[in-house]
Amino acid sequence: MAVADTIVCVDCGGTCHRQPFERPEFGWQVGDIVTFRCSDCADMWYLEVAEDDVAP
């Protein structure tokens, strides 16, 4: 499973978009922090990239 472009906001159910939207030049690494901002309530979420996120 790849790092998602969007997630569902836990607080309001809106759509959170990854910031920045571009993927890193050398790809995602385990332990990277990915930020998502909700377009409805403006909450920000910080998620850590896990091994499952970078598995081929």
> 3-state SS string over the chain?
CCCCCEEECCCCCCEEEEECCCCCCCCCCCCCEEEEEECCCCCEEEEECCHHHHCC
Q: What's this model's pTM, rounded to 2 decimal places?
A: 0.82
The pLDDT tens digits of the residues spanning 19-43 come to 988 888 888 899 999 999 999 999 9
